[in-house]
Structure 1
Amino acid sequence: MTDRPNRIDAAFARCRAEGRAALVTYVMAGDPDPETSLKVLQALPGSGADIVEFGLPFTDPMADGPAIQAAGLRALKAGQNVIKTLDLVRRFRAGNGGTPVILMGYYNPIHAYGVDRFLADAVEAGIDGLIVVDLPPEEDDELCLPALAKGLAFIRLATPTTDERRLPAVLANTAGFVYYVSITGITGTATPDFGRVAEAVGRIRRHTELPVVVGFGVKTGAHAAAIARGADGVVVGSALVDALHGSLDPEKRAQGGTVEAVAALVRELAEGVRSAGRAA
């Protein structure tokens, strides 16, 4: 490991000190265009986001629902790629040195870019962690272990189907936090059963001291509050992508209210998280 600042741990420590869960927000890099995407990214922390996930667009996003798939296609159409995504993070870092940035995506663009080159450039750009949904623990040598060696957290997903036998393998090299997927299936397609989510978080906590955050299906401040009562963090993605999409003109171009459409929902979600009090 390196001596890079651990912004992820610092964010969770700050939220614990404030007696609440963390709000983790996801937006797609380059959606609907690079400059608007940067403005949205810059608006997230001030609207209440504690950690930001930045989507790396890919042509075949198997875990993503229709909203995020469409966002990725808009970004790709606008010319977004790995180089431009890292540049957006670099530009974000010029004005924000404290908010953790997690890059979320798939392995194919990273492999095509070159793992060593990618990790070096990600560190230089100011990225704090990676979520790569199509690399299982059996493939840790590909990216996970090299990322950890560079000081980048490699954040793993656990799901309702991750049983007691599988969970230790999932957690073995996980860093930063554990991302619990609250529903089976793709993103943004159902509302989670909040009671079952709390039980699942408790089960995962018996296996790790890492924070457990919950995502998939969280759409409103009330949803965020319900999750926050039993988790260390709440992830919202599809709802924010939908808010952005709903603000675009018929040609899918940004308008004057695009950034505010996302920021307003983040404020609602942040209020919900803060109203829930300390995570169990």
Structure 2
Amino acid sequence: MVTLNTMDKYFYEAQRQGRLSFYLTSFGEEAINLASAAALSSDDVVLAQYREPGVLLWRGFTVQDFANQCFGNNSGHGKGRQMPIHYGSKNLNYITISSPLTTQLPQAVGIAYSLKMDKKDSCVVAFFGDGSTSEGDFHAALNFDAVMDAPVFVTMSMLDFNELACLWAGDGIVVKGQAYGIPSIRVDGNDALAVYNVVRSARQIAISEQRPILIEAMTYRVSHHSTSDDSTKYRSMDEIEHWKTKHSPITRLRKWVERKGWWDNNEESNLHFEATKQYCG
């Protein structure tokens, strides 16, 4: 989680210096990234949006691999033919990210159905944000999944609580899954342990019972939407700082391991030093 956070800081600054054309960070959503990845098997297929690089990081995609893709050089998996943050890895079962919202959801159901037909001991995980629920592909995918009972579970990240009234009149996403007959659960997306337990259980259900699961992971996007956005135009700095400091998933996990006696300030300093050295040489 610290490595992801540190990588985001450096690449964000690189874009601001004109070294990258575009970048998105995962600030505030580190727990969804890494806890989900830890609960999955390497054989599970992931279809992500643009805020789940942590899943790739967990699976072995190196910081150099991320840099190669973002800088568009010939060493990147896309050979410089794709804009930054559109990561992918065939070897790591991570489908290359697409720019259009929600296209990954119908694709995820199709892949999951093929796994079911081949009797594979694996499932498909798709990530999406709250804006995707306004797309037709979201409803088509949920209906397709519910009817075909494909072993796929989809996880969404709730980005801006002050935008919710503009998106839905109902109670978030969890009720939409239930309306399609899909078992659905809401979890605190800033609690790494809770996310891990929910994703691990969802995976077991999807594979053993061959049916879909919907997870609504409630979190808050601390960063701007992208380097093309200034989120202070529609939310206050006090609100951002509140979520950044009081509800940081990294801080919450750190406090938990400290109470267990597994972490202290010296180890914290060493971790930040090693993470920084990795990027600065």
TM-score by length of 1: 0.34
Q: Which protein has the bigger helix share?
A: 2
Give TM-score scaled by structure 2 length.
0.33
Larger Rg: 2
